[in-house]
Chains A and B, each alone.
Chain A
Amino acid sequence: MREALRDAMAEEMRRDEAVFLMGEDIGVFQGAFKVTEGLLDEFGERRVRDTPISENTIVGTGVGAAMGGLRPVVELMTVNFSLLALDQIVNHAAAIPYMFNGETRVPLTIRMPGGGGHQLGPTHSHSFEALYQQVPGLLVACPSTPADGKALLKAAIRDDNPVIFIEHESLYGRRGEVPDDGDGELLRFGEAAVRREGGDVTIVGILKMAHVAEDAARALANEHGVEAEVIDPRTLRPLDLDTILDSVRKTNRAVIVEEGWPHGGVGANLATLITEQAFDYLDAPVQRVTGADVHMPYAKRLEQAAIPHEEHVVKAALAALEGSL
């Protein structure tokens, strides 16, 4: 995944002079997670800019540069630190195109890695997909595979809208086929991937939870004779709700898996949309599997207990199927 994201940026920078990178320790240090490794060497300090630790101003400078005709790619060291830049993200990047009535655009990509599982504790393990998907004007990408990561990042950089590009720290080392045909494999925002077909229950998972959902589907098939359909939305704004609804209309049951908090989460939102749009097709309440409603604890045992795992998803799917097996 790490290399796929780096290649996406490098290819877009080669293609378009207006694309440049800004962020804390992305140049000389090569990125806190080494995603920008080698880019300073290739593109130089003008286009790979190390910044001070000033999140709100880094994003704001990106907003202004985008309004001035550039295509900045801002790296915030982690999702957690994006809270320091919320004013520029929500009040400015997201609002400006609308509040200035389309007179200016903000083609800005803001990358931020997050998620738990590395014993980084309460301030370094957030999942804020739900927070950002709520803001009109933003696009939100949350890729789970290297191929999607590369294609979506390239699409994000070319998009004229501000994009929140959420990466999962646990997925950086993940391997996978990445098409090597340059512009051929540009993924459109708003197109979900059906990772596995099945007729019994729909499981929707994002980021690392897309993989947990797939693992759970395999366990359901092997151990319970249940065929789950697994959907990875890939982007939360725009949302490919139609693919999810089509699946639910077929399976009549849905489980949503995310790492973030349950109150007002991605799952809460999807459950509402499914209930509103496909209520008559549901044979059971929509099930949610989320991160625990606590701040991420440091102790490994507690941390793992706060993150959804395969068995939680299996349990939720079986609960949705209860009485019909």
Chain B
Amino acid sequence: MADLPDAGTCYELLARMSLIRRFEEEAGRQYQRAKAGGFLHLGIGEEATIVGTASVMRDEDYLVGTYRTHGHAIARGTEPKRVMAELFGRVDGTSGGRGGSMHIFDRERRFMGGYGVVGGNLPIAAGLALSSEYKGEDAVTVCMFGDGASNTGNFGETMNLAALWQLPIFFLVENNLYGMGTSVERHSAQTDLSKKAEGYGISGERIDGMDVIAVREGVAEGIRQAREERRPTVLEAFTYRYRGHSAADPEVYREREEVEEWREKDPIEAFARRCREAGVLGEREVEEVRAKAEERVTEAVEFADASPEPALDSLYENLYVLDSAAGWYAVDERSPEPHRGEDEERMPAAARELAEAGAAYGGQPDGPRPNPAEQGDAQEGVEPEVAEEGDDSPVAEEVERGDRR
């Protein structure tokens, strides 16, 4: 087992993982309260992979993720309250409420996006790496994707291009054993995903993604090879999401016992225990970490709640960069009620009412949120998972007392 880093680093790792855990639990709860809409993919259980990776990246390195990236942004330093505001669809969200849970973005921290299409982030990451290479910069792009993405055409295409052009890129497979509800054995002919890019000349390793220190070591080496040798590699991190694929997942594809088994390897609990046993962190620190996470997440919810909904007249903002707009970019923006025609007065009353009600682009700002179970991500007739009240983080409670070295 790899050695623990210094006490300060251990504290920071535990703090980040705990913050993400607490954030995700709260996000799940807020989703059940209909504060957050759409799909919600939680990373509970995957914190060590996320935090371990981000913790060995430089500020100038790019991180590109999937649709499960609340934690990735937070690990990069994005304010949890801005991520929460994005989930709430508010103006202070990371994407001003345009992106939602699957599309978190923070350019300043070089978190270059959550992406909703499986595998869609792979070539984009290659492009970012190419931009660094082209400009003669030192930055490495870390591209994280799930086991499911390894079956997309983008996987083969991007691996080939990355190796061919010797791009400064590092690939990390967050293997949580399921592509949605289909297990790796049932979706990939090659179940050792670290070997899947070997044909392109990209070697790979497998690590325990529940061990934040092992993740740090594996990722640091991968980033080093990308930075110093321009050699892309794949690291397969075994991890596990305790919750469903999304909040609307009935979890018929796995046994309760399996989830319990993985919970016993909880990355946060295990790391806290190890730090305590090694005398690196004490109960005071662990308690402090827990309290701070609680505080920041509470603050995040309050912030998101207080943040205004986007104004309706911002609907077309940022669709285009408009310096010297000639012509009609968005047809209905220039003519928001096209059905009115030339002479509004002569229109039948019913058509006029429709146009006034915004029929042209059907805005429904105050309407109820549709049930995600009806939106196609879940099997028909299945209720979304209901988060249990009091389902608190196992992080701190069971950690015994000890002093930080």
Least distance between A101 CB and chain B CB atoms (Å): 4
Q: Is the CB of B319 within 8 A of A97?
A: yes
Q: Which residues, 51 to 107 on B, are CB-close (under 8 Å) to A?
A: 62, 64, 94-99, 103, 105-107
Interface size on A, residues (CB 8 A): 61
Interface residues on B, range: 35 or more
- Indicate whether B153 reaches chain A with its CB closer than 8 angstroms: yes
Least distance between A113 CB and chain B CB atoms (Å): 22
Least distance between A232 CB and chain B CB atoms (Å): 13
Q: Which residues, 286 to 338 on B, are CB-close (under 8 Å) to A?
A: 317-321, 323-331, 334-335, 338
Q: Is the CB of B123 within 8 A of A61?
A: yes
Residues of B with C-beta under 8 A to A280: 341-343
Residues of A with C-beta under 8 A to B116: 91
Residues of B with C-beta under 8 A to A98: 98, 318-319
Q: Which residues, 141 to 182 on B, are CB-close (under 8 Å) to A?
A: 153-154, 157-158, 160-161, 164-165
Residues of B with C-beta under 8 A to A241: 327-328, 331, 334
Q: Is the CB of B112 within 8 A of A279?
A: no
Write out, one digit per residue, whether chain A residues 147-167 have a CB within 8 A of any chain B CB (1) or not (0): 000000000000111000000
Residues of B with C-beta under 8 A to A65: 127-128, 130-131, 134
Least distance between A282 CB and chain B CB atoms (Å): 10
Q: Is the CB of B124 within 8 A of A60?
A: yes
Q: Which of B94, B123, B131, B153 contacts A59 (CB 8 A)?
A: B123
Residues of B with C-beta under 8 A to A205: none
Q: Is the CB of A68 within 8 A of B131?
A: yes
Q: Which of A99, A159, A161, A278 contacts B103 (CB 8 A)?
A: A99
Residues of B with C-beta under 8 A to A189: 326-327
Q: Is the CB of B134 within 8 A of A70?
A: yes
Residues of A with C-beta under 8 A to B106: 103
Least distance between B339 CB and chain A CB atoms (Å): 7
Q: Which of A1-9, A48-56, A208-216 contacts its partner?
A: A48-56
Q: Which of A68, A161, A276 contacts B127 (CB 8 A)?
A: A68
Given A97-B321, A279-B341; A60-B330 close (CB under 8 Å)? no
- Indicate whether A239 reaches chain B with its CB closer than 8 angstroms: yes
**Chain B residues in the interface with A (C-beta under 8 A):** 62, 64, 94-99, 103, 105-107, 112-113, 115-117, 120, 122-132, 134-135, 153-154, 157-158, 160-161, 164-165, 317-321, 323-331, 334-335, 338-339, 341-343
A–B complex contacts, Cβ < 8 Å, 26 sampled: A56-B153, A57-B154, A57-B157, A61-B123, A64-B112, A64-B131, A67-B131, A68-B130, A72-B127, A91-B117, A92-B115, A92-B124, A97-B319, A100-B105, A100-B113, A101-B95, A102-B318, A103-B106, A139-B320, A159-B321, A161-B320, A161-B321, A189-B327, A192-B327, A277-B335, A277-B342
> What are the 5 tightest A-B residue pairs by CB atom distance, in nearest-first order?
A64-B127, A190-B327, A60-B123, A68-B131, A238-B327
**Chain A residues in the interface with B (C-beta under 8 A):** 20, 46, 49, 51-52, 54, 56-70, 72, 87-88, 91-92, 96-105, 136-137, 139, 159-161, 188-192, 235, 237-242, 273, 276-281
